[in-house]
Amino acid sequence: MNIRDTLKLSFLVLKKNKARSFLTALGIIIGIASVIIIISVGAGAQSLIINQLNSIGTNLVGILPGASDQNGPPASALGIVITTLKYEDALAIASQVPNVEAVTSYNTGVGTAVYQNNKSDINFYGVMADYLKVENAELGTGRFFNLDEEKGSVRVAILGYQAAQDLFGNGDPLGKTIKIKKEFFEVIGVMKERGSSGFQSQDSNIFIPVSTAQKIMLGIKYVNYIRVKINAGENIDAASEDIRLLLRDRHNISGTAADDFSVRTTKQAIDILKTITNALKFFLAAIAGISLIVGGVGVMNIMLAAVNERVREIGLRKAIGARRSDIMTQFIFESVAITLTGGIVGIIIGVIISFIIALIARYLGYQWDLIVSPLSIIVGCGVAFAVGLIFGIYPASRAAKLNPIEALRYE
């Protein structure tokens, strides 16, 4: 029997047992769809973060507390509190490093903002007067605080767009007094609508002077991180090294002693994020791929049951001249046909669900790219074929070894 006839016979058998064929392929469908969705969602989340980083500019240098090597993030990026960076470090960078256009340090906290009977859960940020320049942000109304207010722990606040809506509705917030935790602040400005950064709305934030955040709101003497805007892209590497040398001198680090801070450019940050998110993405895809093994075992079980059901058919075919290789090829083809069909259906379902997720994310205001790699589709089809081949060999071999005389006598 030639390959064409074998394929035709295999599909006729599968068509005759539609329900069983579908249930057999279901595990493969779920497994392949899960892998496609995880890889696509992982790539979309990665694009979201990278788009946000690019949106604030590629001429930024970030300084985080804590040492790290060039291939990984510092411990502070993993949520560990390190207190090696100070507000004075940011001031020194602004005044002593060439090619620096603007600098801001950051302290963060959470709380509830209150105005009369209105409340809003917010994140408050202690920042410096150059915040708008560093972040490429704009005010909608009012003004930002100045250097004297920054250094004087003045209780003034700039509201994010949504925070202003939540607290004041259509009213004018300028000059009004709000309460954050137990402290009162005068509203002097409202930011333009900015949308989401990562998975967090930037419009629900409130900005206050860094000294106010440290002394009044948080009771600390360190900053969480610093961002520096460089005047031109070609000066980033030189400025990064100047910042590193300045901070080593300020922190009394000499010789071969390791830095107690990490200086990263936007490009380096993007490369590190890609490395981390790629590793996480493929790790999750590998876990989802375990379901393919379960599906393969299901295929093998069904094919073994099919062998037992078709013993007389196998005996008859052998009696009229079918070779062991013909019988084995037919059952392998049937197994591969089930898994390959399941793989194609799984890919289609995975792409559709990934598309829906991307649409929802974009509707919610996230810069989410729909990314379905052609390689993942090719790999999905290849894996489905391999599962059918590997898990179909044993049932096919068992069918091929049946004795034709005993098979014809089988009841």
In the chain, the N- to C-terminal Cα span, in Å, equals 27
Q: Is 177 helix (H, G, I), strand (E, B) or coil?
A: strand
Least confident of 100-109, 148-157, 359-368: 359-368
**Alpha-carbon span 122 to 167, nearest angstrom:** 11
Reported as a pLDDT band with limits 50, 70 and 90, residue 279 is confident
For position 32, what pLDDT does the model report? 82
Compute the distance between CA of residue 7 and CA of residue 21 in angstroms, rounded to an integer.
15
> CA-to-CA distance for 86 and 222, rounded, in angstroms?
5
User: What pLDDT is recorded for position 2?
Assistant: 52
286-315: average pLDDT: 70
For residue 54, the model assigns a pLDDT of: 64
Question: Residue 74 — pLDDT band, cuts 50, 70, 90?
Answer: low
* Dist. CA 344–CA 377, nearest whole Å: 9
76, pLDDT greater than 60:
no
DSSP string across 198-228: TTEEGGGEEEEEHHHIIIIII--S--SEEEE
Distance CA 243, CA 249 (A): 10
pLDDT category, 36, cuts 50, 70, 90? confident
Q: Given this model, what pLDDT does residue 125 score?
A: 95
Question: What is residue 373's three-state secondary structure?
Answer: coil
Tell me the backbone φ, ψ of residue 324, rounded to 5 degrees: -60, -40
142 vs 329, residue with greater confidence: 142
Candidate from 49-63, 113-127, 332-346 with smallest mean pLDDT: 49-63
Q: Is the pLDDT of residue 312 over 90?
A: no
φ and ψ at residue 330, rounded to 5 degrees: -60, -50
Q: Is 403's pLDDT higher than 80?
A: no
Give the mean pLDDT of the chain.
80
**Does the pLDDT of residue 299 top 60, yes or no?**
yes
Q: Is 176 exposed, middle or buried (0-12, 13-18, 19+ CB in 10 A)?
A: middle
**pLDDT (0 to 100) of residue 402:** 61
Q: SS3 of 218, please?
A: helix
In whole angstroms, give the CA distance from residue 366 to residue 369. 9
Which pLDDT does position 159 carry in this prediction? 95
Tell whether the model's pLDDT for residue 82 goes beyond 90.
Answer: no
Q: How many CB atoms lie within 10 A of CB 317?
A: 20
Residue 102 is encoded by which pair of tokens?
């603007």
